[in-house]
Structure 1
């Protein structure tokens, strides 16, 4: 194993206009759809697709600096680009994870939803087929 093999994978993402960009290290965690009222309103669709990364691995890298933040719940902040309005992330109070909108990622491979929050509130015509839960790696 080389030193390069030991480095965690880095994912990048950005808003629509490119002013706000980010990178996060590690494997994407808990890809899931959410159909709560705030997610459907900010996303303009029947669900948002979120994926998590450890908060300490996310850095804002674009020329626009950090995104603007909005408290959509008393314990939840959401990040968006103040220039184009793209929703980018959410952070729950006391959580070590930051959730990014999966479609803001440059590469969405391996980010199929395995869960659906607020499924009972989803549009009645919406049919979802979730990805199977990831299986733990077996030792070789």
Structure 2
């Protein structure tokens, strides 16, 4: 999840929920195909659906990862956020319960 000013203004929501994939492992299906990209920050690019313009992705220059909005995925309810960036900047009424980090083996 992210509550930075950039994500909240672009989404019109108190936070954006993301899941990361290796760029070479993600395949786009459906009639719209791969998103159309536009720059939203000097080194950050957002991808939107070519048909409806819904924001779908975020990609940083030089990164081999692509962040995809969780609720744009099929079976989105199976994906739970494990972190909340800029939580201190989130709306004070926003309550978020994070899932356990699957990489935390303690």
Q: Does TM, normalized by the shorter one, top 0.5?
A: yes
Q: TM-score, normalised by structure 1?
A: 0.67
After the TM superposition, which residues 73-92 of structure 1 pair with which residues of structure 2 at under 5 Å, given as runs? 73-92=41-60
Structure 1 or 2: larger strand share?
1
Match of 1:36 in 2: 4
Structure 1 runs (4+) deviating above 6 angstroms are: none
Q: TM-score, normalised by structure 2?
A: 0.86
Bigger Rg, which one: 1
1:124 aligns with 2:92: yes
The answer for unaligned runs of 5 or more in structure 2 is none
Q: How many residues get paired?
A: 105
Cα deviations across residues 26-75 of structure 1 (Å, max 9, x unaligned)? xxxxxxx0011221122221000000111001223332333221211111
Q: Structure 1 residue 135: deviation in Å?
A: 4.6
Match of 2:66 in 1: 98
Distance in 2 of aligned mates of 1:127 and 1:65? 35
